[in-house]
């Protein structure tokens, strides 16, 4: 039994030992697998994230195989697989960069540390289980020694396994420490978020990237810390990650502690299906965002620079195709960017150069080495025009592609400037030789290198002979030292130029006085290279100065030694100089008189006369005074003086003053008028001589001043005057003047602008050195104080100096200066002799600078000469116009005389014939004869109307007496209608509408006839194809006026023609067919009658002219009816022939006439009757109620009629006397 028990126990022990060995082997396999995983993770990381994921997945597979081979329980395998999946998620959430791979590797180590910890705890549990098994196995062994020994062996082995476990645990702790250190260096924020956004796990090495501390966030929802604008986006990314199981990305802004930041997140699924969550790895990309923004801004700046460049910027690739085309390229070549990009570069090259230039550009693209074809080329615009260009090119490349960037400049303006420079140099050479002023070039020590003919002729040498001399060899010894001193200062740079008067010694020994101007020509470094000298012969001026000094001495002698008192005075009456005779005359000393004025010593009764003379002198109305006045001497006595004064105008060197001679005429006035007249004559002669001397003196002074200024401009001015005298046009004369000024100062650019007639714009007159392409900038410059120096000079009528145009506020003028390439502008107004601004003489400099006094004098002189030329040409134009007006006036005057004579003769014949026809007894005439007489009477009426119209037409519209006349428009039209109707062509009809009961108008009948006839003729001529002219005459009782309207359906007028229609001599017809005075005459008639005239017209829509005249009024303001009288008349005569004749006269002047047999004048304004008792009684009754009516008595009459105020014509046969009485205008009593 014991042996059996021992045998059974041994079998059980063997089985247990085998099981123990299997468990220990499994434990060792597990530890070895963990060590293998740790070794795999310690291996160097691949370059990319993808490779790293692949490597670690392979390592995980090998580890899983070892774990399965070791027989580890499934729960341990699941733990390992879970952590391997976490590693893969962490790797997938980071970008594919070497740095990110290293960070992912460290993150994977942190995950492995967690896995090792769990496996270690499982291993301890396994050891405890193993020990329990041994205890259960050994204890039942009855406590035998064998059991004790076996147990000791097992305990020893267990201790050995525990020792290995502790070593493995230490290795795992070390690995975990290292993994946590690596995790601390990761810059990202790692979050584990639930499906609704709650924080489950947070890790970051930079807490400043969190909106709050970690302990405040865990368990909270991420949406409460996000801006509202991104909350929906964040939740959508979480949902999409969980649904698809794929990684999602998101960029979002976040404000942390008041600072705006940008984050980029990668989101991967994490967790189990029962409790889904996401692993949110986010990185701060604020700096990257700022960098990208800066890059975009830099790209926009580069694009803006290219688009705003003034040169064309073109990029082509290695195939010769255009890839970039800026806006300047569009302007220069004419192709739009969408048209040019993708096209061969040859579209901007003329066909004849296209192959060679394209080959050169491809060679440059490939090698970067320029060829002879690059540089100055010929460009081709879209419109086919060619122009010179300059090309600067750079070759560059990216990868295997090559490009060329070309900067193309249009050098047309520069070529033109170079041509202009060559032309300017040619003009300078011409100006050097073809001049009357001596010129020379010399070395710095004064040796001549070149002289012109004028200088050689002045010195008496040939040009070749004089070129061998120096300045000092021909300089007068007395002037040599001063000349050499100044030239030395020029050589040393102390002076840039100088001018001096000096003497030269001619070849024949004669002395020549001259003004020498010497200037140094500097190089780019500012060092003097050679000298340029200009010499003007002033020998004649020196003689004139000598004569001036002699004249001044003679004047001084006459002034001091004259027996009569003489003095000079200022415009305010203060004494300037007095002679001894004048001091003696007043009893004052010269010093005392210097403190007094003319008014202080003038008698009070003559003071008003004296003040009036001074006022007229100051106003420029007079310059000569001659009168006799009283003075008050120092002792109070009164003396008489004959004063003769001449007032001299101001000059540049002195103010205006007067020279007076005062002759003591106190005794002469007592002695008699004869002696006074003789003395006055003598004084007048003396003062005339004094005035002559003073005038000569001033003339010599002016000549000296003018010559000093003319020495530098004489050449150009002489040529201008020659051109002006030669009949050249104003533009040609002004161009010659500008060329002359620019010849004297080659660095100048000169422009002459003339003022428009309306005074609002400047027009270009001369600018020979300004490129034609820039002429448009000058033509039409506005006038004003703020539109540039030219417009400001005209507006202020004074010189305007702008030292630097870049400082102007006017942008347009600055752009003009930039286009012209100038920096300074000096504008001198061109003033007429009547002080009216004619235009501008402008000088431009290419450098900013201020003018020197000689240049300003030169500018003023040139502007004055331009004014002379302009005034002369305009005066010549006005003279030609005056001659034309005189010719037309003479022609019209002759025609008027002829028409007036014809009308007068016709009226003298027709008037008696009409009277005799009216005197026939119609009741006794046979019927057939009565018809003949009636026809004859109608013919006579027509001829009388025609005669009246001719008289109206021939009358002078400027007649002053006509202003006192008034006209009945209705009666006037009855007289002139037939005449005016005959003035229109046959294909034009005249239609008139005359309103009844029109008031009288204050205009003479002949003036009204001429005005309306001109309007009708103009209307008819405006309808060459025929039509109708309408005349409408209406009255306005409310406004007390009469309107005459003439309307046609002709060609009409343009606005410009309508505005100038009333200008004298302005016409749109041929000069031989029209004088241009018609509408001017109509305007004059309207203005003299205080009326108005208006024109309404449009091209092809006809013209309407409306004349409005005010009704005539008497002095009381009552409206007149007919020439100051009423409009009705009654004729009561026994002689029917005389009655008919008188009635005809009254009707001809506008009266409504009735012939009454009973002698009742009723309410008439005029009653023509004869002497009888019944008529006398009727006259008394008539005048009782009509105190303003008039009575004319024909034949002998008693004194009773005269007492009643009647006008008596005794000779009834004197038709002229009767007509004079009837037509006499007697104004109404005031």
| Residues 163, 97 contacting (CB under 8 angstroms) | no
On the 0-12 / 13-18 / 19+ scale of CB atoms within 10 A, 720 is buried
Q: How far apart, in whole angstroms, are the C-alpha atoms of residue 843 and residue 840?
A: 10
**Highest-scoring range by mean pLDDT, 6-10, 623-627, 744-748, 1215-1219:** 623-627
| Residues 76, 67 contacting (CB under 8 angstroms) | yes
Section 899-916 average pLDDT: 63
Q: Could you count the other beta carbons within 10 Å of the beta carbon of residue 1056?
A: 8
Band (73; pLDDT cuts 50, 70, 90):
very low
389-420 pLDDT per residue, tens: 888 888 887 777 888 888 888 888 888 888 88
Q: Which residue has the higher pLDDT, 10 or 881?
A: 881
- The values of phi and psi at residue 593, to 5°, are -65, -30
Q: How far apart, in whole angstroms, are the C-alpha atoms of residue 500 and residue 690?
A: 35
740-756 pLDDT per residue, tens: 888 777 888 889 988 88
pLDDT at 161: 59
In percent, the amount of the chain with pLDDT more than 90 equals 4
Band (962; pLDDT cuts 50, 70, 90):
very low
Max Cα-Cα span within the chain:
214
Q: Which residue has the higher pLDDT, 945 or 1109?
A: 1109
Q: Which residue has the higher pLDDT, 928 or 1198?
A: 1198
Question: Cα angle at 670 between 664 and 674, to 5 degrees?
Answer: 85
- The values of phi and psi at residue 982, to 5°, are -75, -10
Indicate whether 651 pLDDT > 50: yes
Give me the domains of the chain, ranges plus CATH numbers. 2-184 (no CATH), 189-291 (3.30.450.20), 310-415 (3.30.450.20), 431-537 (3.30.450.20), 543-705 (3.30.450.20), 716-880 (3.30.450.40), 955-1110 (3.30.565.10), 1128-1223 (3.40.50.10970)
Indicate whether 1070 pLDDT > 70: no
Indicate whether 295 pLDDT > 60: yes
Write out the DSSP string of 1170-1192. Answer: E--HHHHHHHHHHHHH-TT-EEE
pLDDT at 573: 87
Q: Which residue has the higher pLDDT, 41 or 799?
A: 799
Q: How far apart, in whole angstroms, are the C-alpha atoms of residue 34 and residue 60?
A: 10
Indicate whether 201 pLDDT > 70: yes
Q: Which residue has the higher pLDDT, 809 or 1019?
A: 1019
1090: which 2 tokens? 């205080």
Q: Could you count the other beta carbons within 10 Å of the beta carbon of residue 119?
A: 23
Section 522-546 average pLDDT: 83
pLDDT at 1103: 93
Lowest mean pLDDT among 131-145, 744-758, 1089-1103: 131-145
Q: How far apart, in whole angstroms, are the C-alpha atoms of residue 1129 and residue 1122?
A: 11
Write out the DSSP string of 591-607. Answer: HHHHT-BHHHHB-HHHH
Section 899-917 average pLDDT: 63
Q: Which residue has the higher pLDDT, 106 or 931?
A: 931
Q: How far apart, in whole angstroms, are the C-alpha atoms of residue 88 and residue 50?
A: 10
Q: How far apart, in whole angstroms, are the C-alpha atoms of residue 1194 and residue 1212?
A: 6
153-200 pLDDT per residue, tens: 444 555 565 666 666 667 666 665 655 555 555 567 888 888 888 888
Indicate whether 631 pLDDT > 60: yes
In percent, the amount of the chain with pLDDT more than 70 equals 71
Band (846; pLDDT cuts 50, 70, 90):
confident
Section 1090-1108 average pLDDT: 90
Helix (H, G, I), strand (E, B) or coil at 330: helix
Q: What DSSP designation does 574 have?
A: B
pLDDT at 273: 79
In the chain, % helix, strand, coil (3-state, to 5) comes to 50, 20, 25
Mean pLDDT of all residues belonging to the chain: 76
| 98, containing H or E segment | helix 98-138
pLDDT at 144: 39
Section 423-438 average pLDDT: 77
Lowest mean pLDDT among 644-653, 796-805, 1143-1152: 1143-1152
Q: How far apart, in whole angstroms, are the C-alpha atoms of residue 103 and residue 1094?
A: 97
What lies within 8 Å, CB to CB, of 720 at 6+ separation is: 733, 736, 737, 740, 865, 869
pLDDT at 152: 46
On the 0-12 / 13-18 / 19+ scale of CB atoms within 10 A, 592 is middle
Band (690; pLDDT cuts 50, 70, 90):
confident
**Highest-scoring range by mean pLDDT, 124-133, 820-829, 974-983, 1204-1213:** 820-829
Band (1116; pLDDT cuts 50, 70, 90):
very low
Indicate whether 685 pLDDT > 50: yes
Q: How far apart, in whole angstroms, are the C-alpha atoms of residue 1217 and residue 490?
A: 100
pLDDT at 1105: 92
| 648, containing H or E segment | strand 638-648
Q: How far apart, in whole angstroms, are the C-alpha atoms of residue 879 and residue 867?
A: 18
The torsion of the CA quartet 735, 739, 742, 743, rounded to 10 degrees, works out to: -170
Section 769-776 average pLDDT: 82
């Amino acid at each position: 039994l014991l042996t059996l028990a021992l045998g059974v126990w041994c079998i059980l022990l063997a089985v247990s030992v085998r099981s123990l060995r299997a468990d220990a082997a499994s434990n060792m396999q597990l530890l070895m697998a963990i060590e293998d995983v740790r070794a795999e993770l310690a291996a160097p990381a691949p370059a990319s994230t993808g490779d790293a994921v692949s490597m670690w997945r392979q390592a995980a597979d090998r580890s899983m195989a070892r774990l399965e081979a070791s027989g580890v329980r499934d729960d341990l395998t699941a733990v390992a697989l879970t952590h391997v999946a976490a590693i893969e998620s962490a790797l997938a959430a980071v970008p594919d960069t070497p740095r990110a791979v290293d960070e992912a590797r460290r993150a994977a180590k942190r995950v492995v540390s967690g896995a090792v910890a769990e496996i270690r705890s499982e291993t301890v549990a396994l050891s405890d289980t193993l020990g329990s098994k041994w205890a259960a196995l050994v204890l039942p062994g009855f406590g035998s020694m064998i059991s004790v020994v076996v147990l000791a062996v097992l305990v020893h082995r267990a201790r050995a396994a525990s020792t290995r476990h502790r070593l493995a645990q230490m290795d795992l702790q070390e690995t975990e420490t290292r993994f946590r250190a690596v995790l601390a260096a990761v810059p990202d924020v790692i979050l584990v978020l639930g499906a609704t956004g709650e924080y489950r796990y947070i890790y970051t090495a930079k807490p400043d990237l969190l909106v709050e501390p970690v302990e405040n966030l865990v368990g909270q929802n991420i949406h409460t810390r996000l801006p509202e604008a991104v909350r929906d986006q964040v939740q959508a990314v979480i949902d999409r990650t969980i649904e698809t199981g794929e990684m999602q990305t998101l960029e979002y802004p976040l404000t942390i502690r008041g600072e705006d930041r940008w984050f980029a997140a990668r989101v991967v699924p994490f967790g189990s299906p029962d409790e889904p969550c996401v692993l949110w790895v986010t990185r701060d990309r604020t700096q990257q965002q700022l960098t990208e923004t800066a890059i975009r801004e830099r790209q926009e700046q580069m694009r803006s620079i290219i688009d705003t460049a003034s040169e064309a910027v073109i990029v082509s690739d290695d195939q010769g195709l255009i890839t970039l085309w800026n806006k300047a390229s569009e302007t220069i070549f004419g192709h739009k960017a969408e048209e040019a990009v993708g096209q061969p570069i040859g579209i901007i090259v003329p066909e004849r150069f296209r192959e060679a230039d394209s080959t050169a550009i491809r060679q440059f693209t490939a090698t970067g080495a320029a060829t002879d074809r690059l540089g100055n080329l010929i460009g081709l615009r879209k419109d086919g025009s060619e122009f010179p260009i300059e090309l600067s090119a750079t070759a560059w490349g990216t990868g295997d592609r090559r490009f060329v960037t070309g900067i193309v400049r249009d050098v047309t303006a520069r070529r033109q400037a170079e041509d202009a420079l060559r032309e300017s140099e040619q003009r300078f050479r011409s100006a050097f030789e073809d001049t009357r002023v001596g010129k020379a070039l010399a070395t710095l020590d004064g040796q001549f290198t070149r002289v012109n003919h004028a200088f050689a002729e002045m010195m008496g040498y040939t040009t070749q002979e004089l070129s061998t001399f120096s300045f000092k060899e021909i300089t007068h010894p007395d002037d040599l030292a001063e000349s050499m001193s100044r030239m030395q200062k020029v050589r040393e740079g102390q002076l840039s130029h100088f001018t001096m008067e000096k003497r030269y010694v001619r070849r024949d020994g004669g002395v020549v006085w001259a003004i020498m101007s010497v200037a140094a020509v500097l190089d780019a470094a500012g060092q003097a290279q050679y000298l340029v000298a200009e010499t003007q012969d002033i020998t004649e001026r020196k003689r004139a100065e000598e004569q001036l000094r002699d004249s001044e001495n003679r004047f001084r002698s006459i002034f001091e030694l004259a027996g009569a008192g003489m003095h000079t005075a200022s415009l305010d009456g203060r004494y300037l100089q007095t002679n001894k005779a004048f001091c003696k005359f007043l009893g004052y000393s010269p010093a005392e008189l210097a403190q007094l004025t003319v008014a202080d010593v003038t008698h009070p009764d003559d003071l008003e006369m004296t003040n009036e003379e001074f006022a007229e002198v100051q106003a420029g109305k007079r310059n000569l005074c001659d009168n006799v006045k009283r003075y008050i001497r120092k002792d109070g006595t009164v003396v008489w003086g004959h004063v003769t004064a001449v007032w001299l105008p101001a000059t540049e060197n002195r103010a205006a003053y007067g020279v007076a001679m005062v002759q003591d005429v106190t005794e002469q006035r007592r002695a008699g008028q004869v002696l006074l007249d003789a003395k006055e004559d003598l004084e007048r002669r003396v003062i005339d001589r004094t005035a002559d001397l003073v005038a000569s003196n001033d003339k010599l002074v002016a000549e000296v001043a003018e010559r000093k200024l003319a020495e530098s401009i004489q050449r150009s001015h002489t040529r201008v005057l020659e051109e002006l005298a030669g009949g050249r046009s104003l533009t040609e004369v002004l161009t010659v003047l500008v060329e002359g000024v620019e010849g004297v100062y080659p660095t100048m650019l000169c422009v002459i602008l003339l003022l428009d007639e309306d005074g609002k714009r400047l027009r270009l007159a001369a600018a020979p050195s300004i490129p034609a392409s820039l002429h448009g900038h000058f033509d039409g410059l506005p006038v004003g104080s703020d539109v540039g120096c030219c417009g400001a000079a005209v507006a202020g009528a004074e010189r305007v100096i702008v030292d630097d145009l870049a400082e102007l506020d006017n942008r347009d003028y600055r752009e003009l200066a930039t286009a012209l390439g100038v920096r300074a502008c000096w504008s001198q107004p061109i003033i007429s002799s009547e002080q009216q601004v004619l235009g501008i003489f402008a000088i431009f400099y290419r450098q900013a600078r201020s003018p020197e006094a000689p240049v300003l004098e030169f500018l003023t002189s040139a502007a004055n000469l331009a004014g002379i030329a302009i005034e002369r040409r305009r005066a010549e134009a006005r003279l030609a116009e005056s001659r034309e007006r005189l010719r037309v006036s003479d022609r019209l005057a002759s025609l008027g005389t002829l028409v007036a004579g014809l009308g007068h003769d016709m009226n003298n014949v027709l008037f008696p014939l009409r009277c005799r026809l009216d005197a026939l007894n119609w009741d006794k005439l046979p019927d057939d004869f009565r018809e003949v007489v009636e026809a004859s009477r109608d013919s006579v009426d027509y001829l009388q109307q025609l005669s009246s119209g001719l008289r109206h037409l021939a009358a002078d519209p400027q007649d002053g007496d006509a202003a006192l006349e008034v006209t009945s428009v209705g009666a006037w039209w009855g007289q002139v209608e037939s005449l005016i109707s005959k003035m229109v062509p046959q294909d034009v009809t005249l239609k008139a509408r005359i309103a009844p009961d029109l008031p009288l108008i204050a205009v003479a009948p002949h003036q009204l006839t001429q005005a309306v006839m001109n309007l009708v003729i103009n209307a008819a001529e405006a309808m060459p194809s025929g039509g109708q002219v309408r005349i409408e005459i209406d009255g306005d009782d409310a406004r007390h006026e009469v309107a005459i309207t003439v309307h046609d359906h002709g060609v009409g007028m343009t606005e410009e023609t309508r505005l100038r229609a009333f200008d004298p001599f302005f016409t749109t017809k041929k000069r031989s067919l029209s004088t241009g005075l018609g509408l001017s005459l109509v305007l004059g008639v309207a203005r003299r009658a205080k009326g108005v005239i208006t024109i309404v017209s449009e091209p092809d829509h006809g013209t309407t002219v409306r004349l409005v005249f005010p009704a005539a009024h008497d002095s009381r303001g009552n409206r007149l009816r007919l020439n100051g009288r009423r409009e009705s008349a009654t004729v009561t005569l026994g002689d029917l022939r005389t009655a008919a004749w008188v009635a005809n006269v009254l009707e001809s002047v506008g009266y409504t006439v009735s012939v009454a047999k009973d002698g009742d004048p009723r309410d008439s304004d005029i009653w023509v009757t004869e002497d009888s008792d019944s008529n006398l009684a009727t006259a008394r009754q008539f005048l009782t109620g009509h105190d303003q009516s008039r009575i004319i008595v024909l034949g002998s009459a008693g004194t009773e009629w005269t007492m009643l105020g009647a006008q008596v014509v005794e000779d009834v046969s004197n038709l002229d006397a009767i007509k004079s009485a009837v037509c006499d205008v007697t104004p109404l009593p005031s």
